[in-house]
Amino acid sequence: MTRIKHLLAIVFLLLSFGLAKGYAQSDVDFSPDCPGATTGPDVMPQWKLDWETGFSHEWNRRNGAHERTWTINTSTFRLGVTHNAELRLQIDESATHTPEGNYAGISTMAVGTKIKVFEGARALPKVAFLANFLLPGGNNSNYLPQHVGIQTHLLFENTLSDLFSLGYDVGVEWSGDTNNPDVFFGACLNYQPTDRLSFFVESYNRYNSQRQDDWAKPGRTSHFDCMAEIGGAYMVSPRVQLNIFSDFSLNELSKYNTIGFGLAWLLN
């Protein structure tokens, strides 16, 4: 609980600092990271603070599992600290139901940064670097790792036309509790028919050199965890975005699904 209190204090400081530095503008270039498992390369404008939150329900029967998990609240705060970099803080709270019993708690705690590397030009993509530290939860945590985890990603995006863009994301993720890291690779096709409305379809995948039991069909193991996601977003105002998404397992298509709803809000 002490660690959670410290994180909430950090959230309060970020909010206070961002609101003190920022001022209301209606023409801010606001580009939420949600929805989607791949992450876009855009960073928050300097001293602007974004809050991305939502709710999701996960239905998991993969490899003999029998779980339902509700992410009661996911909160990601993004604060632009320079013209090319932002600070990030994520706190998720979840509850899981299994035949053996129920449990709940903080399911993700992470701090990190996103740094713009290249703005893009002609056929060359935008490029950014993303790094997160996954904070451990101790022996009493039902979700959090026992040791600090690390996520490092390179983020790319190409504009294909006035309506379409392609994002792609490669990286390495170590949960803190596994011997070998996961290699992450994803691609996301975005379609934006109007200034307010957008849709996307993506594939995001993980590879681990050690075979993972829960990535495959019952009685089997796999090096690959292959997922897909579809969704859409609507800008209610220049500062508020609503979104919806759904995920599927390509390893066991009928055994996994997530549906979620979200909100992104430019606070200042």
**Angle 151-157-160 from CA coordinates, rounded to 5°:** 160
Q: How deeply is 38 buried, as exposed, middle or buried, from its count of CB atoms within 10 A (0-12, 13-18, 19+)?
A: buried
Residue corresponding to tokens 């994520």: 90
What's the CA gap between 23 and 174, in Å, rounded?
38
The model's pTM is 0.86
Give rounded-to-5 percent helix, strand, coil for the chain: 10, 60, 30
What's the CA gap between 41 and 31, in Å, rounded?
10
Structure tokens at 102: 């129920």
What's the CA gap between 57 and 62, in Å, rounded?
15
pLDDT over 80 at 29, yes or no? no
Q: Using a pLDDT cut of 70, give the percent of the chain over it.
A: 90
The 3-class secondary structure across 24-85, one letter per residue, is CCCCCCCCCCCCCCCCCCCCCCECCEEEEEEEEEEEECHHHCCEEEEEEEEEEEEEEEECCE
Q: What is the pLDDT of residues 110-164, one digit of tens each?
A: 999 999 999 999 899 999 999 999 999 877 788 999 999 999 999 999 999 999 9
Q: Report yes or no: 204 and 182 within 8 Å, Cβ to Cβ.
A: no
Structure tokens at 101: 């019993």
Say which amino acid occupies 50: D
pLDDT over 60 at 11, yes or no? no
pLDDT over 60 at 229, yes or no? yes
pLDDT over 70 at 265, yes or no? yes
Is it true that the peptide bond before 35 is cis, omega within 30 degrees of 0?
yes
